[in-house]
Amino acid sequence: MLRLIIFAVLGLTFYLGRFKSDWLYAMFDQDMSADPDRIFGLLATMGIGALFLLILMFVAGCMAVSQRSAVDQEQ
């Protein structure tokens, strides 16, 4: 399940960075014509995606620990 989430986040990150990164250029006042491959947008979006993935993994870890401790208390 975690692999599916990781691949979905990576795919979405690549798609947003490669094709939908106009808002990143506008936010940082970058000229889109100077970078036709939109590498800056791709890298910035990948960074945001990696941060989201880290937060997601932290939350999943906290949920697993709390579930494990609840099972231990029942026994």
- The domain locations on the chain are 2-74
Tokens standing for residue 67: 């579930």
Residue 56 scores a pLDDT above 80: yes
CB 40 within 8 A of CB 25: yes
Whether 34 shows a pLDDT value over 80: the answer reads no
What mean pLDDT, rounded, does the chain reach? 73
Tell me which of 69 and 49 has the higher pLDDT.
49
Q: Give the dihedral sign, CA 17/21/23/29.
A: positive
Residue 38 burial class via C-beta count within 10 angstroms: exposed 0-12, middle 13-18, buried 19 and up: buried
Q: What is the reported pLDDT for 45?
A: 75
